[in-house]
């Protein structure tokens, strides 16, 4: 089923203790700035019982962008929202797959991490296209 009018929810990791969490949040925010067919869902509010966030996830396709293999965003959406994300992206897996050095900063994007942000954005963008085309 091709999605034409609904927005796609992006749910980013909120783990500020890992550099990969920072990468996931920055990449997600930058995608939101570039595209008008996506919205963000606040993960802490979602987990705390925010009915608006949970209803959105039930009615619209969502993509999670997690920093590490714990996949808190993906697990939280499934456990508390009762839906499986259409797609889940894990930054630490991107780092491992590409054999890139681990990101360096938890608080900001260092110059050497910009390429990882761009690669993560490219993957998010590709997943959005797949979800919109109904090929997920």
Q: Kindly report, residue by residue over 47-87, the tens digit of the pLDDT.
A: 999 999 999 999 999 999 999 999 999 999 999 999 999 99
Quickly state the pLDDT bin for 5 (edges 50, 70, 90).
low
pTM of the predicted model, to two decimals? 0.91
Q: Which residues, 6+ apart, have CB-to-CB distance to 97 below 8 Å?
A: none
Kindly give the pairing relationship between strand 62-66 and strand 87-90.
Answer: parallel
Q: Which residues, 6+ apart, have CB-to-CB distance to 10 below 8 Å?
A: 28, 31, 32, 38, 39, 40, 41, 62, 63, 64, 65, 124
Summary mean pLDDT of the chain: 91
3-state secondary structure of 87: strand
| C-alpha separations of 52 from 59, 83, 131 in Å | 11, 14, 22
4 has pLDDT over 70:
no
């Amino acid at each position: 089923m091709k999605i034409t009018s609904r927005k796609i929810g992006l749910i980013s990791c909120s783990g500020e203790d890992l550099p990969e969490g920072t990468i996931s949040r920055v990449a997600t925010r930058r995608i939101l700035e570039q595209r008008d067919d996506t919205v963000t869902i606040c993960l802490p509010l979602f987990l705390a019982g925010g009915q608006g966030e949970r209803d959105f996830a039930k009615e619209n396709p969502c993509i999670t962008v997690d920093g590490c293999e714990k996949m808190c965003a993906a697990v939280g959406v499934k456990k508390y929202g009762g839906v499986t994300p259409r797609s889940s992206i894990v930054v630490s897996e991107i780092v491992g797959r590409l054999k890139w050095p681990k990101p360096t900063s938890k608080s900001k994007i260092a110059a050497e991490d910009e390429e990882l942000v761009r690669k993560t954005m490219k993957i998010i963008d590709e997943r959005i296209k797949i979800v919109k085309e109904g090929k997920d």
